[in-house]
Structure 1
Amino acid sequence: MSLPYTSLHTFHLVVRFGSLKQTADYLSLTESAVSHQIKRLESQLGYALFYKNGRQLKATPRGLTLAEQLAQPFDHIDHTLLNETPNHQQRLTLYCLPSLLEPWLLPLILAFKETHPELDLIIRYHSSAPEYLDENSLRISSFLSNHTSQYRVVPLFTGKTIPVCSPLYLSHANPMGNPTSLLEANLLHDHSEHSWQTWFSQFSLALPAGQKLIYEDFHLL
């Protein structure tokens, strides 16, 4: 079976960017054209390459395996062609949490740009990071201490989870002087229940069952 180079390269980029739109912008194509190439490749292969996770596009296990096999040869081709292009502006993409960007990273960006004028610096939201990061990408995010990764992980900060409360809510709620008293409070969850589950487990308590208010991101709180 002969697979088209163009569709394979497009697939490789969609996995890298995690977005049809970013891939289309990179290739100067429409999203429809990129989607058509992916569907044609899926038809030839006989299996799905992507699935939707909310608003994010994720590679299926078989798609991720194919992407990993394609990554090195395509990156080598791209690197070779870019090095042969005169006056090429190099690019560094940072995927970062807003909570780290504002107080820590932004003050450093100006100094970084002054010492590296040859780089185009692109900053994206951390959740848009593709499953596969190329050599010109960095992801600055939060991880548990037992997190494992196929990439090199450099610890920057240590974190601690503590409960906080609105003064207005506290003025109307029952007294909350110990962890057990929080079991009756209206708990807000950032992305999942994991943080509260971990915090309560320190005191041998279980997160209460029932309806929960879960936000996709704490910036929505």
Structure 2
Amino acid sequence: MKNLHRTHLNGLRALEAVGRLGSLRAAAAELGVSVGAVSQQIIKTEAQLGSAIFERSGRGVVPTPLGRRFLDRLTIGFQTLDTAVAMALHNDDSVLTISVAPVFASKWLVPRLAAYARAHPETKLRLEAAIDLVNPDSSDIDLAIRVGEGGWRNVRSEMLLPQEIFPVCAPALTDRLKAPRDILKAPVIRDINSNIDWNVWLKPLGLDEQELAEGDTFTDAALCLDAAIAGQGVMLAWHTLAHDALRAGRLVAPFPQRATTRFSYWLVTSANRPEPAKVRVFKAWIRAEIDAMLAESSQFQGRESP
């Protein structure tokens, strides 16, 4: 690796970031420096290399033919370094880092973590709220919990819970909901960012979403849940979102029918590293919690429709 002594690592980082992100400004934002500093790093490193990596134009910087080949290899090299750093971070067995969707975390997981801490005081949890799929090999994430269809490449994914949906509402609205068809006359709460529509639940019952009444709309499932608790209407919920509110009596599920979506909850870990004990312990714990929730939820199911 004697050639590395001819250039500064910060300069190579600047070249790689500009090549990957396509602009000086984006590279500066990622590296946490000014655009001018990135530009100076590029000039200095090109001089050390004795070759132009970028061509300057009115539209910005564009890799030269040599630059394209050079930058491809540079990105691979920095990815390898990033993976090595992540491996070192994963070496701390006392901290378990979990990436989880915000709604799942706030409405289901976080209220149960005190019980986990009592059972496993040797492990400290660190939660990161995110919805994008993470790469456990190039981050410090030990485990991710995601909703989707599974089948993601380059990770190990294990199904935790199939997603079932069903209507919920405040207890005061149940007198208006004797049969599923009555939902067509009730105010409906909608999550405009949801990728699940009402027809998943309605169609098997011979009903159609187009017949639903108007109601309030929100951009977040947790806000929809709060609106339902406040009595603003009926929403389409699922176990991990509504279970605790159903258990507390703040919501009811007026009908027994459940509809399975194409989505499930998945436990996502590295496909390339041995699974540490702290991950195996957490997986066993969360599976037991899910089983307990499902067993308990049977008492919240609504009455059979006539």
Taking structure 2 as the reference length, what is the TM-score of the superposition? Answer: 0.41
1:107 maps onto 2:124 in alignment:
no
CA distance in 1, matches of 2:117, 2:168: 31
CA distance in 1, matches of 2:115, 2:134: 28
Q: Which amino acid aligns with 1:215?
A: F
Q: Secondary structure at the match of 1:114?
A: coil
Report the CA distance between 1:45 and its aligned residue.
5.0
Match of 1:218 in 2: 221
Match of 1:139 in 2: 144
Q: Which runs of 4+ in 1 moved over 6 A?
A: 10-13, 82-85
Q: Which amino acid aligns with 2:179?
A: N
CA distance in 1, matches of 2:209, 2:219: 19
Match of 1:55 in 2: none
**Relative contact order, CA 8 A, sep 6+: which one is greater?**
2
CA distance in 2, matches of 1:114, 1:107: 13
Match of 2:284 in 1: none
1:77 maps onto 2:81 in alignment:
yes
Report the CA distance between 1:81 and its aligned residue.
5.6
Taking structure 1 as reference, are residues 163 and 5 closer, same or farther at Cα in structure 2, changes over 3 Å only? same
Taking structure 1 as the reference length, what is the TM-score of the superposition? Answer: 0.53
Count of residues paired in the alignment: 169
Report the CA distance between 1:204 and its aligned residue.
3.2
Taking structure 1 as reference, are residues 109 and 197 closer, same or farther at Cα in structure 2, changes over 3 Å only? farther
Match of 2:204 in 1: 202
Q: Which of 97, 118, 127 does residue 123 from structure 1 map onto? A: 127
* Structure 2, unpaired ranges of 5+: 1-10, 43-53, 64-70, 227-306
Match of 1:165 in 2: 169
Report the CA distance between 1:141 and its aligned residue.
2.9
Report the CA distance between 1:123 and its aligned residue.
1.0
Which runs of structure 2 are paired with 1:38-77 in the superposition (5 Å)?
Answer: 43-44=60-61, 70=75, 73-77=77-81
Which runs of structure 2 are paired with 1:85-96 in the superposition (5 Å)?
Answer: 93-96=97-100
Q: Secondary structure at the match of 2:122?
A: helix
Structure number, greater radius of gyration: 2
Report the CA distance between 1:216 and its aligned residue.
2.4
* Structure 1, unpaired ranges of 5+: 14-19, 47-65
Q: Which amino acid aligns with 1:189?
A: R
The 8 Å contact of residues 126 and 140 in structure 1, kept in 2 or not, is answered as no
Q: Secondary structure at the match of 1:44?
A: strand
The 8 Å contact of residues 187 and 214 in structure 2, kept in 1 or not, is answered as no
Q: Secondary structure at the match of 1:154?
A: strand
Q: Secondary structure at the match of 1:5?
A: helix
Report the CA distance between 1:164 and its aligned residue.
1.1
Match of 1:188 in 2: 189
Report sequence identity in percent. 20
As a proportion of its length, which structure holds more strand? 2
Q: Which of 146, 153, 160 does residue 157 from structure 2 map onto? A: 153
CA distance in 2, matches of 1:166, 1:215: 17
Q: Which amino acid aligns with 1:182?
A: I
CA distance in 2, matches of 1:176, 1:84: 56
